[in-house]
């Protein structure tokens, strides 16, 4: 088997290209060059071509790329040629924001159910959905064939939720709790840690202040 080792940064950029192409397509644009893509998303043209080269040849020399075709390929590559129902655990502010978020209800993603530990929250409505008790997680996710779980609970519950997800056969986790979760190696897990991003900002602001002394 050919081991396709693709840098994570490349995948990230593929996602960005894909979204950019979606916009172009909506605007009726039919052809685009690596130069224009690069310009549009703020990377170098060589980077764009190199990234695409990991997955095949999608362009025509001297011409460029067909927007629709390339868009389709990027979606396929990212695994977005299928539906991805999501299960969110935690119906607090964050859970609610995510449930109704555009990013979580587009491009194949759809929040299919929301769970909570707190009996007071269970049964409440969020958009079209009713908040379910966490005890229902295994059954409901299996029934809906959910492969992505989102952790939006407080830190002290996060590991427990992760365990439930693992046991329920969810394959991948998006974790918003700022702690390092222990999961089996074959689970896909990503952490979204807003504090880290903020601290990257303060570090760089501090750096600039120091350099201007």
Partner DNA sequence: TTACAATTGTTATAATTTTCACATAATAAT
Partner DNA sequence: ATTATTATGTGAAAATTATAACAATTGTAA
User: How many residues belong to the site for DNA (CB under 7 A)?
Assistant: 27
- Contact (Cβ atoms closer than 8 angstroms) between residue 40 and residue 20: yes
Here the contacts of 11-14 (C-beta below 8 Å, separation 24 or greater) are: 11/78, 13/41, 13/43, 13/47, 13/48, 13/51, 14/51, 14/55, 14/74, 14/77, 14/78
Chosen from a copy of itself, DNA, none, partner binding at 198 (C-beta under 5 to 8 Å by type): a copy of itself
Instruction: Pick the binder of DNA from 2, 4, 27, 63 (CB under 7 A).
Output: 63
List the one residue out of 71, 73, 72, 118 whose CA is nearest residue 95. Answer: 118
Q: Are strands 129-133 and 125-126 parallel, antiparallel or unpaired?
A: antiparallel
Q: Based on CB atoms, which residue is closest to DNA, 65 or 137?
A: 65
CA-CA-CA-CA torsion sign (62, 75, 40, 42)? negative
Which listed residue (43, 129, 140, 183) binds DNA by CB under 7 A? 43
> Of 50 and 107, which CB lies nearer to DNA in the complex structure?
50
Residues lying near DNA in the complex (CB under 7 A): 5, 7-10, 32-35, 43-47, 49-50, 52-53, 57-65
Residues lying near a copy of itself in the complex (CB under 8 A): 1, 4, 8, 11-12, 14-16, 18-20, 40-42, 77-80, 84, 92-94, 96-98, 100-104, 106-109, 147-148, 154, 171-172, 174, 178-180, 186, 188, 190, 192-208, 211
């Amino acid at each position: 088997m050919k081991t396709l080792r693709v840098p994570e940064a490349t995948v990230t950029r593929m996602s960005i290209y894909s979204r950019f192409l979606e916009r172009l397509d909506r605007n009726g644009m039919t052809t685009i060059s690596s130069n224009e893509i690069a310009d549009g998303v703020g990377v170098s043209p060589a980077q764009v071509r190199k990234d695409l080269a990991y997955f095949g040849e999608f362009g025509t020399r001297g011409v460029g790329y067909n927007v629709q075709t390339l868009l389709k390929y990027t979606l396929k590559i990212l695994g977005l040629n299928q539906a991805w129902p999501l299960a969110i655990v935690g119906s607090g502010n964050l859970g609610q924001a995510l449930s109704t978020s555009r990013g979580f209800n587009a491009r194949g993603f759809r929040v299919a159910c929301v769970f909570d530990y707190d009996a007071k929250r269970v049964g409440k409505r969020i958009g079209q959905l009713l908040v379910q008790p966490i005890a229902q997680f295994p059954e409901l996710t299996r029934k809906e064939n959910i492969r992505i779980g989102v952790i939006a609970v407080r830190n002290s519950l996060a590991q427990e939720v992760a365990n439930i997800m693992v046991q329920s056969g969810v394959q991948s986790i998006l974790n918003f709790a700022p702690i390092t979760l222990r999961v089996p190696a074959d689970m896909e897990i990503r952490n979204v840690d807003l504090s880290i991003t903020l601290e990257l900002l303060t570090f760089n602001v501090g750096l600039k202040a120091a350099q201007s002394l």
